[in-house]
Amino acid sequence: MRRVPFIVNWPVLFIIVALVALTAGLVLQNLNLLPLTVQTWWPVTLLVPALVWLLIALLRRNPRQLLGSTTLLGLALGLTLITSNILSANTASVFGVAAIVIGAGLLLRGLLMNQQPI
């Protein structure tokens, strides 16, 4: 059996595939090609893993995972607020909500995980 000349980094591959799927979903949503139920509920598919990732990062006291999970949580919350018609549908509102949640994650990291390098 022949060995592959490179090593597959599975977490990075998963992130790349997830970003491609997210981009395809955003393009389909902008073209209004998604059914109404999918348009309403797809940000929840980002919100649930972000919350689980945040809890795991807090339990493991891992500052890098905490910052990554709060970034995903901020983007998911922004997209959820847009699909719920609470925010206007523009990029600034999504990144505004993401910045607030990332700031809260930085505060949480500073309060709970002091003296730990990033």
| Lowest mean pLDDT segment, chosen from 1-5, 18-22, 46-50, 96-100 | 1-5
Compute the distance between CA of residue 2 and CA of residue 59 in angstroms, rounded to an integer.
41
108 in Cβ contact with 66 (< 8 Å): yes
Compute the distance between CA of residue 36 and CA of residue 61 in angstroms, rounded to an integer.
39
Which of 47, 62, 43 lies closest to 105 in space, CA to CA? 62
Rounded (10°) CA dihedral 35, 18, 83, 26:
-70
Residues with Cβ within 8 Å of 68's Cβ and at least 6 positions away in sequence, in order, are: 53, 57
pLDDT, position 97: 84
Write out pLDDT tens, residues 4-47: 788 888 888 888 898 898 788 878 878 889 888 888 888 888 88
